[in-house]
Amino acid sequence: MSDRHDFENPDAERFVGDVLSRTTGAACGRATAQLADLMSDRLSGLDRQLVQAHLEHCAGCRNLAVTMGWLTPLLPQMAEFEPGPDFMAGVLARTSQVGHVARPDAPLGGAAGLMDRVGRWWSRRILRPQFALQAAYAATVVLVLLTATPYSPLRGLPHRALQVVTAGPGSAPVVGPALARTSGWVDVHGAALVDGGRTRVANRWQHLNESLAARVRRTTGSRSELDNHWHNLVAQARARELGGVGYELLAGMRTVGVVWRQWWHDDVTENGS
Amino acid sequence: MQVDQTELLERCQQGDELAWEVLVRQHQGRICAIAYGYVGQQDEALDLAQDIFVKVYQRLHTCTDAEKFLAWLIRIARNACVDHLRRRKARPPRQDIPAAEMVNLRHGGPTPEDNLIRSSRQRLVHRALQKLSEINREIIVLKDIQGLPLEEISGLLDLPLGTVKSRSSRARLELAKAVTDLDGGAGAEAVS
């Protein structure tokens, strides 16, 4: 290694700098790349000596090394931050307003269990910030592949659907003839069936009606929120705020999850818990 | 006071307010620090930390393993922070808010001078964190500040383990550069 006094001379420093600029370029990049290893004692032998020699003469890298030296013990000390006494009161006040649903002791069975599992799966997925955008993107790609390319298996579907809507359900392929047959059978046997089962059908219809009304009632708030998200999304799209569109899409999908769970369960709160 | 975590979590899931208070006290420091690391503004971080605890409360029933509670909690906190930053980017504040003073340090030093230096450096680090790329900031917050293992960070960020490892050194170097830039170079030595 060269004599230290030579390098303390500004001319000698400039000379080394000039030589490096005409040959390899400054060695700062290589030195900084090894700083982390040097600070954590993972650098040994000649590599260690070379980096240390560079630091001795390069003020910029030396400052960086000094900063890394105090950063290493400081960062773990920032793992906790005392928020003050008001914080706890704020959290407790807010969580006391939120309805609490205890974990069910046993998993639900049947359709309710399936709906519950679907709802929980949805809640977990929706926690991922990227999920809404990924889901929307995937759904668009699938729709385009299914209906909009020359080789799509369902490429005529939108056109056929339009025809069915225009001409009535009897013209629908596959289902249409079946509907026509069913209609004829009902014409012949309907009177007898209606006489015999009128009461049962009426009871069943009333039950369904009440159940539907209850579901509509308990999802009113969430559906209104969903409506708001939709309007906000349109506004953000018009303003070309992509970030805002993403956020509203995410919030809207989260609300869809809440509506879904409220529709199938009568003990779900406004927050979906 | 040492409380059995499994029992504590079960009591919280049953709606026991006292258990919930203890749970919040146990983790408030960490959650506030994570939020502060991500958003860089103290008031904003405290509001965000409250939101995180409300989310945690609503989803308590989905945490079935007390041993994994901390990882579950940090995952919710991290996702909430990322979500918050995304919303902030979509609707930026009308004017820049000056960096908040961080005074309530949990780890006090032996002398007031030490505390002052530490406090000043921590402010500097929080400002520097806002200069980093998102991924590097996350790695610093989760690995260097919160001390999470690389495997866990890899799962949280949905990145290969090798990428997280290689990013780790680079992130700290980028942070040191940002700190040095903010501090004007010579300041780093002056305070050391």
Does the pTM surpass 0.95? The reply is no
Task: Measure in Å the smallest separation between the Cα of B120 and chain A Cα atoms.
Answer: 11
- Residue A23 backbone zone (phi > 0: left; psi -120 to 50: alpha; other: beta): alpha
Supply the DSSP string of B12-45, one letter for each residue: HHTT-HHHHHHHHHHHHHHHHHHHHHHH--HHHH
The single-letter code of the amino acid at A235 is A
By the CB < 8 Å criterion, does A133 face chain B? no
> What's residue B192's pLDDT?
37
Q: Where are the alpha helices (DSSP H) in chain B?
A: 5-13, 17-39, 42-58, 69-90, 112-129, 134-139, 150-157, 161-183, 186-191
Confidence of residue B191 (pLDDT cuts 50, 70, 90): very low
- Determine the Cα–Cα distance for residues B133 and B175; give it in Å rounded to an integer: 10
- Determine the Cα–Cα distance for residues A36 and A57; give it in Å rounded to an integer: 19
- Collect contacts of A60-65 with beta carbons under 8 A, ≥24 apart: A60/A28, A60/B185, A61/A28, A61/A31, A61/A32, A61/A35, A62/B189, A63/B180, A63/B185, A63/B186, A63/B188, A63/B189, A64/A32, A64/A35, A64/B173, A64/B176, A64/B177, A64/B180, A64/B188, A65/A35, A65/A38, A65/A39
Q: Between helices B150-157 and B69-90, what is the axis angle to 10°?
A: 40
Residue A40 DSSP class? T
Contacts of A250 in chain B (CB under 8 A): 83
Q: Flag residues of chain A having pLDDT under 70.
A: 1-13, 15-17, 19-26, 99-109, 124-130, 169-174, 191, 193-194, 267-273
> What are the pLDDT digits (tens) for B13-55?
888 888 898 999 899 999 999 999 999 888 889 999 999 999 9
Residue A172 has a CB neighbour count (10 Å cut-off) of 18
> What are the pLDDT digits (tens) for B122-180?
889 999 999 999 999 999 999 999 999 999 999 988 889 998 988 888 898 999 999 99
CB contact under 8 A, B24 and A101: no
CB A146 within 8 A of CB A154: yes
Confidence of residue B67 (pLDDT cuts 50, 70, 90): confident
Extract the runs of DSSP E, i.e. beta strands, from chain A.
none
CB contact under 8 A, A63 and B186: yes
CB B48 within 8 A of CB B85: no
Tokens describing residue B155: 């799962």
Contacts of A67 in chain B (CB under 8 A): 176, 179-180, 183, 188
For chain A, report the end-to-end CA distance as a whole number of angstroms.
Answer: 69
How far CA B179 is from CA of A68, B34, B37, B172, B188, in Å, comes to 9, 19, 14, 10, 8
| SS3 state of residue A81 | strand
The answer, yes or no, to whether residue B116 has pLDDT greater than 60, is yes
Lowest mean pLDDT among A166-170, B81-85, B115-119: A166-170
> What's residue B144's pLDDT?
92
CB contact under 8 A, A78 and B82: no
CB contact under 8 A, A102 and B46: no
Contacts of A242 in chain B (CB under 8 A): 90
Q: What are phi and psi of A81, to 5 degrees?
A: -140, 120
Residue A98 DSSP class? S
CB B62 within 8 A of CB A124: yes
> What's residue B76's pLDDT?
94
> What's residue B96's pLDDT?
44
Q: Which residue has the tokens 């009606």?
A: A209
Contacts of A43 in chain B (CB under 8 A): none
For chain B, report the end-to-end CA distance as a whole number of angstroms.
Answer: 37
Contacts of A241 in chain B (CB under 8 A): 90
User: Which residues, 6 or more positions from A212, have their beta carbon under 8 angstroms from its beta carbon?
Assistant: none
| Domains by residue range for chain B, with CATH | 1-100 (1.10.1740.10), 102-192 (1.10.10.10)
ipTM score of complex: 0.78
- Determine the Cα–Cα distance for residues B37 and A182; give it in Å rounded to an integer: 67
Cα dihedral B118, B121, B126, B132 sign: negative
> What are the pLDDT digits (tens) for A146-176?
888 888 878 777 777 777 777 776 666 667 7
Tokens describing residue A47: 């590599």
By the CB < 8 Å criterion, does A89 face chain B? no
| SS3 state of residue B133 | coil
Q: What are phi and psi of A107, to 5 degrees?
A: -65, 145
By the CB < 8 Å criterion, does A75 face chain B? yes
> Pick from A72, A38, A64, A57: which is nearest to B186 by CA?
A64
Q: List B105's β-bridge partners, or say none.
A: A81
Q: Out of B53, B118, B147, name the one closest to residue A91 (CB).
A: B53
CB contact under 8 A, A63 and B189: yes
CB contact under 8 A, A236 and B90: yes
> What's residue A109's pLDDT?
64
Supply the DSSP string of A127-154, one letter for each residue: TSTTHHHHHHHHHHHHHHHHHTSTT-TT
